[in-house]
A and B are shown apart, each in its own frame.
Chain A
């Protein structure tokens, strides 16, 4: 949980206040200048009215160079960041030919499959030559290949459910599945920090949506009791069905969800559960099977498990794993299955190969080594950052580590200074996080070696001192340990 110190909250609000005042002043002068110039809209309403894009114009554009940095190599542990320059104070950015090699702490590359892999890439190229880039057809018309059926069986086996279905994009999976499962007269209870794709899917379904406090099982129970007792709004008819939607690892907090408690509550009240394992599948758990394995929950207790292949498997697309009846129903009604182009065959082959490596079916133990490496890396990095005095969120074993920044000026300062020292960091501000809680988010990968992590720690510590984000006291180095070692020698 984030503990926002009082003084920091005041200074952050003050900074945002100054930015808003300046933004409004500039808008005022812009209006005066534009009065004389003719308006070329000719009776059409403008694309953005009034203050709808105030945040974009006056705050985001100032620090635009910290976001959307192009790269010109694979997003591996070290990559080439393209340099950009601006002639008009960051309003437009232009590419140059120069690149800098930086340490990658921002890509979702948990198991290191992002770059060309010795097992996966030859098989991917072979399937590209056999099945070509795309099938140009939907899954039901003529877009199902042998690879797709093979992957669906493999995913079902890996996740621990009877059947699975694939989609070409993780975002579309959520947006198109939730309307197929529940409609008007149903209730969706989702965690307050759920991803935008789940929010869109819930809104598009037409069901009533209620929110429960992040990771708070007692509050979920309270909301459930109240909703079941009162029924649908205004008519008080009983709800047709209730689905609770939660995520495995929340990408902005790095926290694991409290799965056993929440599942216990859901079973007690006979509601259905939907678990979105976009970040946790393949990255946590003893054998990489996700948050269920890590927290000891039986997969039969969760009705629908969803995940994506973008993060741990280095490909693209998403899947849903559930019972055979649910999957058959989805294959008949889900619009993403009936209308969207099927997943590209080389991407399918990449997932098949990556899963085989993780399961050890390729004949080596690279998978087990990768899983052990990412666990070790995450725990080492997190403990070191906490010792240095940073405010780091997230649980142990989770490869995502947000470091709190709070003040809006520290966002570009931290990001640019780290890039200067050849470490590429992702900083996140409003609207992905609440306004006062800006943060820098680090994603650890199994491809990072111990030296990479030590270099990253040095740079982050130096820049953290410069920018002033060590909100907690630094842990002193224990003198007893050193004495103990000396004694043995």
Chain B
């Protein structure tokens, strides 16, 4: 058996070698074809054949219905909201009267420093009368968006009045304070645009920046050097300056810290680097400047240099809603592309007539501004030596902001301490002040603190009472 195998193998090998060593059988094109060349040609063909084959992939099997059913049964969603523990429930003080400088909370009269009623227009007779007239004529709501019979003549009058007061060509009204800024920013900034914003802007501005899908670069809070660096960096990196829109977003008086933006510096930088400014004047309209026209008046900057000004009217003007003003192009563009304007019902007409009356009052009585300034200065002075707290706002800001000198450890204990200070001030001394409350969605990292909103209708005794109360309570609670 083995011998036979050996014989067969030997004869096969003999045959193969004889074939290889065979003399040249053919001459093709002057090249002699040896036997082995045929084998090599066959090998090349096999290699090419393998190269053209697709690589092996395991076949894709879509999930069967039964598997999907199992996955759906297994899936357990998170609860819609996290568990609420006892200490998380917070009941704000309930007012039983108008939110003027003196209000009634839980049956007691308190001095109210929690309302941004800067000009003391809450409870003003003329405004109330104009509202009563508007309510009787127009009812309460406007029952429609601006494009579909929701435009009432008081809206148009209010827009013209505000534009005339500020000295701009036109203005546009929005129906709610915070929706103004987060509708304006996405109307002008789209994907691919560049925005340089202050890191201390409030949530509504942050939401507008997020919705606009532009590239956002933050600079250090109210720091002009940092702003210049960021502008320089951004201008160097941008490729098509003619096609990319660039904006600087700042607030006139920052809600989160009480600082005032240096507008003349910002305008100088804007002209150097060719950016447009979006300025949110919610807390400075009707407060800063000799005639209450806002930050541009205060810094002596001509109003045409600021491209877009927005403001909420829920502060100095003691009404609700917001407006945006600028050149005719800016305002007209918003009438069709600003979502908070097009897709929402318009401002109730009585609020618009309250705004008109408030602006009238401000024009006729500019002395109320100097009264406000004196009050702010008095309170600032009194609060400069509160134990444990330090003043963090600008000396001219109507939001007087006090932050803790030393943090107690964690953010949570800080908030608890401030809340207990405010609670004791309310219960024992009848002084209502506000603490900063940050939503979990807010990305602002500025320190929290106590806020007092000064009004022109606060009397000197009110201010002294608040300062004394804070000093006493802070001494007790801050070790």
Contact = CB atoms under 8 A, between A and B. Distances in A.
B131 A333 contact: no
Given A47-B330, A171-B344, A145 B96 contact: yes
28 contacts: A45-B246, A47-B330, A47-B333, A49-B243, A75-B150, A82-B153, A104-B149, A107-B143, A107-B144, A108-B144, A124-B135, A128-B131, A129-B128, A133-B354, A136-B117, A145-B96, A171-B176, A180-B440, A181-B80, A197-B343, A203-B211, A204-B211, A272-B80, A314-B139, A316-B142, A329-B84, A331-B90, A333-B439
B10 to A, nearest CB: 63
Contacts of A334: 439
Interface in B310-352: 312, 314-315, 318-320, 329-330, 333, 335-337, 339-340, 342-345, 347-348, 350-351
Interface in A113-130: 113-117, 120-121, 124-125, 128-130
A315 interface: yes
Contacts of B440: 180, 333
Interface stretch (B69-77, B293-301, B372-380, B387-395): B69-77
Contact of B318 (A72, A114, A134, A316): A134
A315 B97 contact: no
Contacts of B97: 130-131
A133 B188 contact: no
Given A143-B115, A169-B175, A241 B211 contact: no
Contacts of B138: 73-75, 115
B182 interface: yes
Contacts of B23: none
Interface in B183-241: 188, 190, 202-204, 207, 210-211, 241
Interface string B164-191: 0000000000011111001000001010
B94 to A, nearest CB: 5
Of residues A113, A142, A171, A313, which shows the largest number of chain B Cβ atoms within 10 Å of its Cβ?
Answer: A142
B92 A133 contact: no
Contacts of A203: 211
B92 A141 contact: yes
A258 to B, nearest CB: 21
A341 B149 contact: no
Given A106-B144, A116-B137, A346-B350, 4 more contacts: A44-B276, A69-B149, A140-B92, A172-B179
Interface of A: 42-45, 47-49, 52-53, 56, 60, 67-76, 79, 81-82, 95, 104, 106-109, 113-117, 120-121, 124-125, 128-137, 139-146, 149, 168-172, 175-176, 179-181, 195-197, 200, 203-204, 224-226, 228-229, 238-243, 269-272, 303-304, 308-311, 313-316, 325-326, 328-336, 338-341, 344, 346-347, 350, 424, 426
B425 to A, nearest CB: 13
Given A130-B97, A241-B80, A171 B319 contact: no
Interface string B63-92: 100011001100111101111100011101
Given A48-B333, A228-B71, A346-B350, A338 B439 contact: yes
A179 B345 contact: no
Contacts, number: 347
A175 B344 contact: no
A136 B115 contact: yes
A270 B75 contact: yes
Interface in B77-134: 77-78, 80-84, 88-90, 92-100, 103, 112, 114-117, 122-123, 127-128, 131-132
A203 to B, nearest CB: 6
Nearest to B63: A229
Given A229-B67, A329-B81, A124 B140 contact: yes
Given A340-B177, A344-B351, A335 B140 contact: no
B27 interface: no
Mostly helix, strand, loop or mixed at chain B's interface? loop
Contact of A75 (B83, B143, B241): B143
Nearest to A199: B339
Interface of B: 63, 67-68, 71-72, 75-78, 80-84, 88-90, 92-100, 103, 112, 114-117, 122-123, 127-128, 131-132, 135-144, 146-153, 155-156, 175-179, 182, 188, 190, 202-204, 207, 210-211, 241-246, 255, 274, 276, 312, 314-315, 318-320, 329-330, 333, 335-337, 339-340, 342-345, 347-348, 350-351, 354, 432, 434, 437-442, 451, 453
Contacts of A335: 178, 203-204, 207, 439, 441-442
B143 A114 contact: yes
Contacts of B128: 128-129, 132-133
Given A132-B122, A316-B140, A344 B348 contact: yes
A407 B242 CA distance: 38
A243 B79 CA distance: 11
A149 B94 contact: yes
Contacts of B147: 67-68
Contacts of B188: 47
Contact of A341 (B84, B143, B320): B320
B202 to A, nearest CB: 6
Given A107-B143, A134-B319, A135-B95, A341 B329 contact: no
B343 A137 contact: no
A114 B141 contact: yes
Contact of B314 (A69, A313, A330, A341): A341
B88 A328 contact: yes
B140 A314 contact: yes
A240 B94 CA distance: 37
Contacts of B117: 136
A279 B136 CA distance: 25
Contacts of A141: 92, 114-115, 434, 437, 451
Contacts of A104: 149
B440 to A, nearest CB: 5
Nearest to A329: B81
A179 to B, nearest CB: 6
Given A104-B149, A133-B131, A338-B439, A140 B94 contact: no
7 tightest A-B CB contacts, nearest first = A142-B114, A341-B314, A329-B81, A169-B176, A141-B434, A132-B98, A171-B344
Contacts of B243: 45, 49
Given A130-B97, A132-B100, A175-B207, A73 B137 contact: yes
A136 B318 contact: yes
A41 B451 CA distance: 42
A313 B345 CA distance: 13
Contact of A204 (B75, B210, B274): B210
B72 A228 contact: yes
B273 to A, nearest CB: 10
Given A228-B72, A271-B77, A329-B82, A137 B114 contact: yes
A74 B72 contact: no
Contacts of A350: 140-141
A195 B343 contact: yes
Given A44-B274, A143-B99, A137 B115 contact: yes
B448 to A, nearest CB: 12
A484 to B, nearest CB: 43
Of residues A75, A82, A144, which shows the largest number of chain B Cβ atoms within 10 Å of its Cβ?
Answer: A75
B148 A67 contact: yes
A400 B99 CA distance: 40
B149 to A, nearest CB: 5
Contact of B90 (A137, A140, A303): A140
Nearest to B77: A241
A121 B135 contact: yes
Given A53-B333, A169-B179, A229-B67, A325 B141 contact: no
Given A168-B176, A225-B68, A326-B80, A113 B139 contact: yes
